[in-house]
Amino acid sequence: MARDTIFDTKATTAEKFEFNERVAEVFDDMLDRSVPFYKQVIAMTAEIFGRALLAGDAVYDLGCSTGTTLLYLARMLESRDLKFIGVDNSRAMLDKALRKAAMFSMADRILFIEQDITRADFSGAGGVILNYTLQFIKPSVRPGFLKAINNGLRPGGVLILSEKVVNRDKEYNGQFLASYHQYKKRRGYSELEIANKREALENVLIPLSIQENMDMLLQAGFSRTTTFFQWFNFVSILACK
């Protein structure tokens, strides 16, 4: 796994974050060191889908990046007769996903599609995954996008939504951000890298509060929502049609 050193020089401070070839090459390491309990959330998703999905269901990972989540689900839910589809608009990410699928002999089990996820067709899906993806979509577009996902899911279908969030209590929000800062330092990122990436993501990654995400899901037509994981300013939500 290539190590993420993209933001280790001052020369990168003016750059805005993009899912380009340079990021795709180190993305797995970036997720592993930047998203707390990333692998555990995927494992929990497999448990949820194991209970909620029906034979023949299609599972869509919207913003699938390098395919890590779908590769794990395809392996853990191998006996469930499911279809796995990854959608992403980054060719570089999908190229790496295809290489990984071939490496693990899963190329015939997972379909990868290059497309804007807000325009994807997932009619009749049993499960949809939006892991750390909605936060990169313009806030004005999110309500309609979630409504389209709800409309596309079959009755009883589920959405897994994982996001970085803000806390409307300024004191708690500051504490949670400080904890996240320390987490990244423990994972080997320098102060310079942390500061550079924060600047690169400004106005690119726009987080909302847990309540705002919950309200959007209910307004989009989901009948039930609940959090199933939280670590300071990271949360995973289960929504059922």
Q: How far is C-alpha 29 from the geometric centre of its chain's CA atoms?
A: 15
pLDDT digits (tens, 9 = 90+) for 67-118: 999 999 999 999 889 999 999 999 999 999 999 999 999 999 999 999 999 9
- Report the candidate in 237, 233, 239 with the shortest Cα–Cα distance to residue 36: 233
3-state SS assignment for residue 130:
strand
Look at the domain 1-241 and name its fold: Rossmann fold (3.40.50)
Which residue has 């939504």 as its token pair? 161
In angstroms, what CA-CA distances link 103 with 14, 38, 71, 158? 36, 22, 11, 30
What are the boundaries of each domain within the chain?
1-241
- The pTM score is 0.92
Query: What pLDDT does residue 5 have?
Result: 65
